[in-house]
Amino acid sequence: MATGAVSRALAQSGARTPSALLLGLAVAAYVTLLAAIVLKALRHRDALRAELRDPARLFGHFTFVAASGVLATRLAHGLTRGAAYALLSVAAVVWTALATAAVALARSAGRTMLRYADGTWFLATVGLQALVLTVVGLHPGRAVITATLALWATAVLMYAVTLASVVLRLLRDPPEATHLAPPYWITMGAAAISTLAGAQLATSEGLLPRPVRVPLDTAVTVLWAWATVLIVPLLAAGVWRHLYHRVPLPHDLTLWCIVFPLGMYTTATAQLATDRGTTALTAMERPLVCIAAVAWLAVGARVLTAPDGRARPRSS
């Protein structure tokens, strides 16, 4: 997911060779992930069912949907277009299954479920917006674009509800420094991918109902501004955690939760700069690409140099 996002950001900036290299890595990682998921579903069904009933772990599975959608957007042109359709189909089925499990869990757990609200909950929004990006990238007709607009609006509403849940949980039960983990960056990543999906929908202006065009542009601007504002408290939280409380920087895979938002924010900003011709946004594009690429390299090096020689998964 993170590698695909940075690959797209590099491609949009004209860095074709690094983008192609990262795309190859993303495809290889996705195939490995898919094989692991299939193996887990076949051999460890009870463990998988338990995770889908655990509010602390269920939403992490939406990463697969987001990865499928982000990768599909990179394959939506030329000879790989068929692969993009296949990834879209898989992602849509998995997102629906996971959303159904989340609704069932909410009904059974009730308000107690809110105690587990954290940054991973935004992955449901990220997954749905990744589906929107894929559909728009495949250049469908007017009817499909209109339905996709409805999906985009649903995802934005879902983001708002998730944000309220997470803020409420943080106010009621402020996390200790050790628990203020990188997945909270997905809060910004979900806003960024919503910005990008909305901006790309806006490029299909001739296929959109006329009354929604101005509200869509306004919503995209607000989402980008919100994603930008979020960067400050997220950086401040990192300083508070690692410099003030001296919590060691982890070696685990959760660090990729920082890279994905940076890559997606970069791509969203570049899309707005192209669509609106804003000089300030255009000036931001190259520095943001550099930051996303450096973050990818830094996290990759950090994960590969884990003390035990392998990346540790996030503890539940």
Token readout for 185 is 């960056």
Please indicate whether residue 285 or residue 230 has the higher confidence score (pLDDT): 230
Nearest to 199 by CA among 273, 289, 122: 273
Cβ atoms < 10 Å from Cβ of 225: 12
Q: What's the mean per-residue pLDDT of the chain? A: 89
pLDDT in tens, 201-251: 988 867 777 888 889 999 999 999 999 999 999 999 999 888 888 888 777
Q: Are 122 and 159 in contact (CB under 8 A)?
A: yes
Q: Domains in the chain and their CATH numbers?
A: 2-303 (1.50.10.150)
Query: In one letter, which amino acid is 165?
Result: S
Q: Could you tell me the pLDDT band of residue 316, with boundaries at 50, 70 and 90?
A: very low
Q: Could you tell me the pLDDT band of residue 308, with boundaries at 50, 70 and 90?
A: low
CA distance 166 to 184: 10
Measured over the CA atoms of residue 271, residue 274, residue 275 and residue 277, the dihedral's sign is: positive
Q: What is the mean pLDDT of residues 105-113?
A: 84
CA distance 132 to 35: 25
Burial class for 191, CB neighbours closer than 10 Å (0-12, 13-18, 19+): buried
CA distance 27 to 71: 7
pLDDT of residue 160: 97
| Local structure of residue 314 (DSSP, 8 states) | P
pLDDT in tens, 150-202: 999 999 999 999 999 999 999 988 888 877 888 999 999 999 999 999 999 98
Query: In one letter, which amino acid is 247?
Result: V
Burial class for 310, CB neighbours closer than 10 Å (0-12, 13-18, 19+): exposed
Token readout for 214 is 């101005």
The secondary structure of 160-222 as a DSSP string is: HHHHHHHHHHHHHSPPPGGG--GGGGHHHHHHHHHHHHHHHHHTTGGGS-GGGHHHHHHHHHH
pLDDT of residue 260: 94
Task: Tell whether the model's pLDDT for residue 311 goes beyond 60.
Answer: no
CA distance 68 to 90: 8
Query: In one letter, which amino acid is 312?
Result: R
CA distance 268 to 50: 36
